[in-house]
Copies of this chain bind each other. A is one copy, B any other.
Amino acid sequence: MPADIALAQGDFLVGDIDGNVRQVLDIAAKARDELGAAAVIFPELCICGYPPEDLLLRPEFLADVEAGLAHICKQTEGIDLVIGYPRRKKGQLYNAAGVIRSGAVIAEYFKAELPNYSVFDEKRYFMRGEAPCVVTIAGVPMGITICEDIWKARPAAQAAAAGARMILNLNASPYQAGKGKEREQVVSQRARENGLPVVYVNLVGGQDELVFDGASFVVDAGGKTLLRSAFFGPSLEVLSLEDGQPQPGVVTPCPDEEEMIYRALVLGVRDYVGKTGFKGVVLGLSGGIDSALTLAVAVDALGPEQVEVVLMPSRYTADMSNEDALEQARRMGVKHSIIPIEPAFKAFLGMLEEEFAGQPMDVTEENIQARCRGIILMAISNKSGRMLLTTGNKSEMSVGYATLYGDMAGGFAPLKDVFKTMVYRLSRWRNRDGEVIPERVIVRPPSAELRPDQQDTDSLPPYDVLDEILSRYVEQDQGVAEIVAAGFDQALVRRITRMVDVNEYKRRQAPPGVKVTRRAYGRDRRYPIVNGY
C-alpha cells in the first residue's frame, strides 16, 4: 500500500509559541490536502523553538507550550503529526516528541541522549528518557528518536529491538563547516547497524549565534541517501513509502565549503536582523576586506535598500581606501555617507590634553579614533532604527586586534567566526560571477589605518600562519608543545596563544555572530577571564 510522509523543515521562532502553532497547523493542512501525506514530521522542540534556554525555567512558559500543544491536537485531523516540545511529567522536564492522531497525543518519546557540550546545555533543563517509542505511522512501525540520540548507538537499537521498521529522527542541529557530511555518515551507519531506513528532519533558520541549515534527508536500510531537502531554507518534502519501503526522491546536491559558509552567514544576518525587528542595517565601510565582505553578506541577506554604509576617513586613511569603499558602495547599490572623524578626534585630544600632558601617543589615540567611528555608527543606528553590523573577523577577535566600543560596537558580527584566510576565500567566491568586491580590496596588504603606514603584519604573523595556530589552539584544544611540534616557532606560538588568553575580556563584551566552525566564541567556548594558566 502506498503512503507518503512529509518532512517539515520549518523555521520555528524561539519563544513564539502562537506563531509556531499556527505554522504547524498550516504545514499539517498543506501536507494533508495538497501533498496527500499520511503523516508529517516536525523538528525537535518545534512548538517552542530551539534553543529556548532559560525560558524553560519559567512555569508560565511551559504552561503556554502545553496550551499550544492542546490547540494543535484539537485542530488537526486526517493526518498524523510527529512533533517536538518540552514536556513536564512528575516534576521533571523532558525533551519530548509526541505523535498526534485524531485529536490526541497517542504516544510520547523522551530524548535519551542529552547533549551538554559545545553550545548545548540540555542537562541544565532536561531529564533523560529511558524507553524506546515505536508507533505505526503510515502503515510502518516507526521508532522515534531526537537529535543527539542518533549520534549514539543505543536509542536506535532499542527502537529496532522494540519492533521499529524505520527510524524517525527529529532535529535542531546547527550548522558548522563539514557537519552536513558528518551527519549523513553517522545516520548512514546507524541505518546499516539496524538494517532500517532513517528519516532525519532538521530545523532551519538563524537563532542568535546559531544557524540551522535544514538539509533534512532520508537514508535507506543500506545507508544510501534517498532524498535531501534544501539547504538554508524551509521545505516540505514528501517521502513516498511503497510496501513500507522509502522510495528515492530529490537529492539536493551539497554546495562546496565556501558557498555553505557564505549562505550560513547570509541566513544568520537575515534572521537576526529580521527576528529582532530591525529596519535594515548600517555598517562602516573602510575600504578593507572585512567590511567589504560584510557588506556583500548584508546586501545578499537584506537587499540593498535595507543597507546603508558610512565612510569615516581619518588623517591616516589612504585615498585608495575611500576610492575602493565608494566603488563598492556603488556596485552594491547601497546608500552611503562620508563623515570624516577629524572634528571629534581633535575635540577628544584637546579635552584630554591636560590629563595626558607629557605622555607619548600610544594605542590610546588609536582607540579614540575607532571609538569615534563607533559613536557615529551607533548614532545613525539609534536614529534610523538600523542595526549596526560589526565587521571584525575571527582572527582579530582571537588576538584582540580590535577596539572595544570602537570597531567592536554593533548588534551583530557576521564574520565573528570566520578566520581572515576564509574572509579572502569567501570574497573570491562572492566575486565568481562578477566583481562586487573591488579586486584591489582583496590584494592590498591589510591595515587598520590608525597610525601612519600601519600594516597588520607589523604586529601579527601572516594570516595563513596565524589562522593555523589559532585553529589548533582554539578549535582543537592543542597545547603549545603540540603546535610547536607541528612546525611553528615556539616564541610565536607562545605569543599568539597568550594574546588569545588575555583578550577573553574583550570577547565577553563582543556582539553575537554566526557559528560556522567547530568552536565559535560565545556559548560554545566558556573561558575564565581571570586565568592564571
Contacts and interface: CB of A to CB of B under 8 A. Distances in A.
A61 B354 CA distance: 47
B359 A383 contact: yes
25 contacts: A14-B533, A15-B528, A15-B531, A16-B532, A54-B527, A55-B528, A60-B479, A117-B124, A207-B528, A271-B530, A272-B530, A337-B355, A340-B351, A343-B351, A346-B347, A355-B380, A355-B383, A359-B383, A367-B382, A372-B375, A374-B405, A405-B405, A508-B511, A509-B509, A509-B510
Contacts of A404: 378, 409
Instruction: Across the A-B interface, give the 7 residue pairs with the lowest CB-CB distance, nearest first.
Output: A16-B532, A60-B479, A15-B533, A405-B405, A364-B382, A347-B347, A15-B532
Interface in A332-349: 337, 339-341, 343-344, 346-348
Contact of A526 (B54, B344, B371, B379): B54
A352 B379 contact: yes
A181 interface: no
Interface string A212-245: 0000000000000000000000000000000000
A2 interface: no
A480 interface: yes
Nearest to A276: B530
Contacts of A84: none
Given A339-B355, A343-B350, A364-B379, A121 B526 contact: yes
Contacts of A59: 477, 479
A58 to B, nearest CB: 5
Contact of A208 (B64, B275, B528): B528
Interface string A121-141: 101100000000000000000
A362 B376 CA distance: 15
A528 B14 contact: yes
Contacts of A58: 477, 479
A208 B371 contact: no
A289 to B, nearest CB: 25
A459 interface: no
A60 B272 contact: no
A375 B375 contact: yes
A525 interface: yes
A116 interface: yes
B482 A60 contact: yes
A17 interface: yes
Interface string A1-32: 00000000000011111010000000000000
A351 B378 contact: no
Contacts of A341: 351
A523 B89 CA distance: 27
Contacts of A375: 348, 368, 371-372, 375, 405
A99 B354 CA distance: 60
Contacts of A378: 367, 371, 404-405
Contacts of A359: 383
Interface string A90-105: 0000000000000000
Contacts of A382: 362-364, 367
Nearest to A365: B379
A529 interface: yes
Interface in A376-434: 376, 378-380, 382-383, 404-405, 409, 411
Contacts of A479: 58-61
Contacts of A367: 378-379, 382
Interface stretch (A45-53, A71-79, A291-299, A323-331): A45-53
B505 A529 contact: no
A57 interface: yes
Interface string A449-487: 000000000000000000000000000011111100000
Contacts of A124: 116-117, 121, 526
A316 interface: no
Nearest to A341: B351
Contacts of A116: 116, 121, 123-124
B505 A276 contact: yes
B339 A532 contact: no
Given A367-B382, A383-B362, A532 B19 contact: yes
B351 A376 contact: yes
Interface string A498-532: 00000001001111100000000001011111111
Given A348-B375, A509-B510, A509-B511, 5 more contacts: A53-B528, A60-B479, A117-B124, A276-B505, A355-B380
A276 B529 contact: yes
Nearest to A368: B379
Contacts of A343: 347, 350-351
Contacts of A61: 479, 533
A57 B474 CA distance: 11
The winner among A55, A354, A480 for most chain B CB atoms within 10 A is A55
A293 to B, nearest CB: 23
A529 B508 contact: no
